[in-house]
A = this chain, B = another copy of it.
């Protein structure tokens, strides 16, 4: 059967960087091979650059992006801890579910979908929560929130509070500065702006979060105390085997990060900004209405309302079957009334934006 080669313009996965694809198919190394451990160390160092952090414990977790959320709460929630969670989309809602499962007393702060989080409301929701969590780039709505303001406000009030930030759709697409912003635990996924297939969750932990971590969480697989012994050693010593690392995926991430840093982060951000702006202007020129609040739109993920009288799923189906282009449905209650269009990583380019606009124009 001929291979299908899609243009992946949904909310992720995106088409990987060619360097990432080539590395996936390179000869496999063992997870304890010195050559692999050097590659793992380099991968962690490159992740530190992208996260804007000096955190020793910055690593790719062995699962898809959601496993980062799970690891964040599993290792942070002690019995009786209060977690204030800003909810302005599906992934904020999921945080509430996950934190509750690990025993947190959750104070959700609900926002209208399509709006960024209101830092004052999040701060006023509880006087001294142990954990404050929010989504930087809501994959369900295409909205960017101000994590820098949130981190500063939380730590000004309580230097011991832990700030958790979901950066699944932001990392390597728009600036993330974990240390400057006061992010204690950040997690992401590889299949968005990092331009790698899904399967790893880049993760970073501050010393503050590390020291107050749960000593023996229910999860063995995501126990940071155990994983830390494997990752914070060096290629020549101090490592303890935990689980067999997904070596091919890590080699792929290593290659994509090399590509991104060679291009330079600023250039990559600018490429995302320019492509996203081109698309958003073009969609409005077609008479379409953007969903995310103006001034808070992600360049890498655009949400647009399905025009009245147009069958949203049918247009997506025709894009896929006639033009080989995948875009996303809306999330939650906006499933059939919103489209989500991603220009992420390798796809953050004018040719992708132009193709998207012209194909959509033909179908409307």
Mark A residues whose CB is within 8 Å of B.
Answer: 3-6, 8, 10, 12-13, 15-16, 21-22, 24-35, 62-67, 69-70, 74, 94, 97-98, 101-102, 189, 191, 197-199, 216-221, 243-249, 320, 326
Contacts and interface: CB of A to CB of B under 8 A. Distances in A.
A219 B100 CA distance: 10
30 contacts: A3-B26, A3-B27, A4-B29, A6-B27, A6-B29, A6-B30, A6-B33, A8-B30, A13-B31, A13-B247, A24-B25, A25-B25, A62-B63, A62-B64, A63-B63, A64-B243, A64-B244, A65-B243, A66-B221, A66-B244, A67-B243, A70-B221, A189-B244, A191-B244, A198-B247, A199-B246, A199-B248, A219-B219, A246-B249, A248-B249
Contacts of A25: 21-22, 24-25
A274 to B, nearest CB: 24
Given A8-B30, A15-B28, A31-B13, A199 B62 contact: yes
Contact of A218 (B22, B64, B102): B102
A-B pairs, 3 with minimum CB distance: A25-B25, A199-B246, A197-B248
Contacts of A26: 3
A197 B70 contact: no
Contacts of A22: 25
Given A197-B246, A218-B219, 13 more contacts: A3-B27, A4-B35, A8-B28, A13-B30, A30-B326, A63-B67, A63-B221, A66-B244, A98-B220, A101-B218, A191-B244, A198-B246, A249-B249
A89 to B, nearest CB: 14
Contact of A64 (B15, B191, B245): B245
Q: Which of A6, A12, A33, A246 lies at the interface centre, i.e. has the most chain B CB atoms within 10 A of its CB?
A: A246
A189 B275 CA distance: 40
A98 B216 CA distance: 11
Contact of A220 (B15, B66, B198): B66
A216 B35 CA distance: 41
A92 to B, nearest CB: 14
Contacts of A31: 13, 198
